Chain A
Amino acid sequence: MISPTRIMHFEALGFLYGLAAIVTYQLFTGQINLQGLLQRKDGTGQTSPERIQLLLTTIAAAARYAAQVAQAPPGTLPDIPSDWLYLMGGSSSLYVVHKAWNVFKAAQQLGEKS
Chain B
Amino acid sequence: MTMVQVCGFVLCLFIGLLALTILYLIWTRKIDLSELLSEANGDASMSRFQLLIFTFVIAIALFEIVESSLKFPDIPQGVLVLLGISASTYAVGKGISYSQPEVMMQGPVSSSPDTSGAVDDAVAAAQAAANQAAAHAASAQQAAAKAQQASGN
Contact = CB atoms under 8 A, between A and B. Distances in A.
Interface of B: 5, 8-9, 11-12, 15-16, 19, 22-23, 26-27, 29, 33-39, 41-47, 49-50, 52-54, 56-65, 67-69, 71, 73-79, 81-82, 85-86, 88-89, 92-93, 96-97, 99-100, 102-104, 106-114
29 contacts: A4-B9, A8-B11, A16-B59, A20-B56, A23-B56, A32-B36, A33-B42, A35-B42, A35-B112, A37-B49, A41-B104, A45-B111, A58-B49, A58-B54, A61-B82, A65-B57, A65-B61, A69-B61, A74-B69, A80-B78, A80-B79, A84-B82, A88-B85, A92-B85, A95-B93, A103-B96, A103-B100, A103-B104, A107-B102
Do most interface residues of chain A lie in helix, strand or loop, or is the interface mixed? helix
Contacts of B108: 35-36
Given A13-B63, A51-B46, A107-B100, A31 B111 contact: no
Contact of A35 (B43, B96, B103): B43
A36 B86 contact: no
Contacts of B102: 107, 110
Query: Which range contains the number of A residues in contact with the other chain?
Result: 35 or more
